[in-house]
A and B are shown apart, each in its own frame.
Chain A
């Protein structure tokens, strides 16, 4: 139900990528109202998408219901090229074992009530397992401070890289979240709490 898609998916899995871009358009543009990302073809993609991107996808009966994108920090990524001002002069860590966690999304119907949080937790657990499978040290995250608590609660060792500031009308804080043994324990617990949770790795042939 969760899968990691990476490699040159544009060539190898064009239809998967099309579903991903359509899901992102419907979630970020039509649901969250990110007008700057609106595209006439209803596919949300930006200059950071490319063969280096890693996609974590959650599906329910074949439909995408949750999504996250991990970008290599050895290339231009959001914190370095979209809003470097979030760092307020400080320098963010980058490297082969550090990716940037972006476009985190879980369909509202999947997180409406108490039990639905279990799905959202399991999806976050899937992201942690993907990071572990890639032997990453940690992930850069830019988020509302409220979600930093969620990362801490799920065992990430979160380093605040700069103070939260207003970005496009909302508070945003850049953090570096390192994976710990507790992160993986929390992922296991989250998978156990959402029956049927498993993570598949799709690699290009």
Chain B
């Protein structure tokens, strides 16, 4: 789930397993055109709690664009808020925006999946790169590391730059953080 919902609502939604009773998700299985949340809620009692609690977080009404994927699964993009009054043209425009957004999201996910899963988490770092990162995480500068490992400072910088590229990090701090997050270094 990618979302710009209030964070507390998103956490609550996941913690309480609302995904299993959400009337919007149930409704979208049977339709191909966009609909408003209140249309989905009509006649469903089990999911009432989801709609009631959403309201507490300022999500009183929403407009949902359903997607039926090739593999038989469903997806949707919802636009929600405290007030939602959409003209026919605005609904049509949101419909198209959702279609473009969903396709772009799919393309991004597809690109991620194409990278070898192991290479993605481990980043395919060499032993030397990992070693430089460990010292970097311990607060050592490139010059410190060059002395510790008896290699030139330029080589250390080269290893760290390679590690950055492999972990898609924008700088050394980000690179260390990524390496820890992926459990490459402790």
Whether A146 contacts B32 in the complex (CB less than 8 A), given A163-B93, A164-B95, comes out as yes
| Residues from 142 to 172 in A contacting B, C-beta threshold 8 Å | 144-146, 148-149, 152-153, 160, 163-165, 171
Whether A152 contacts B99 in the complex (CB less than 8 A), given A144-B32, A146-B32, A163-B93, comes out as yes
Q: Does A40 contact B (CB under 8 A)?
A: no
Question: Which A residues lie within 8 Å of B106 (CB)?
Answer: 153
Question: Which A residues lie within 8 Å of B89 (CB)?
Answer: 163
| Distance A144 CA – B107 CA, assembled complex (angstroms) | 21
| Distance A60 CA – B96 CA, assembled complex (angstroms) | 35
Q: A93: shortest Cβ distance to chain B, in Å?
A: 18
| Distance A146 CA – B95 CA, assembled complex (angstroms) | 9
Q: Which 3 A-B pairs have the closest CB atoms?
A: A152-B103, A163-B92, A164-B92
Q: Does A71 contact B (CB under 8 A)?
A: no
Question: Which of B64-72, B142-150, B173-181 lies at the interface?
Answer: B64-72
Question: Which A residues lie within 8 Å of B103 (CB)?
Answer: 149, 152-153
A-side residues, CB < 8 A to B, are 114, 117, 144-146, 148-149, 152-153, 160, 163-165, 171, 173
How many residues in B have their beta carbons less than 8 Å from beta carbons of A? Answer: 19
Whether A149 contacts B92 in the complex (CB less than 8 A), given A114-B72, A144-B32, A171-B33, comes out as no
Contact between B32 and A149 (Cβ–Cβ < 8 Å)? no
Contact between B96 and A146 (Cβ–Cβ < 8 Å)? no
| Distance A139 CA – B46 CA, assembled complex (angstroms) | 47
Q: Does B102 contact A (CB under 8 A)?
A: yes
Contact between A145 and B72 (Cβ–Cβ < 8 Å)? no
Q: B99: shortest Cβ distance to chain A, in Å?
A: 5
Question: Which B residues lie within 8 Å of A164 (CB)?
Answer: 92, 95-96
Can you list 20 A-B contacts with CB-CB less than 8 angstroms, sorted by A residue number? A114-B72, A144-B32, A145-B96, A146-B67, A146-B68, A146-B99, A149-B67, A152-B99, A152-B100, A152-B103, A152-B104, A153-B106, A153-B107, A160-B96, A163-B93, A163-B96, A165-B92, A171-B95, A173-B92, A173-B96
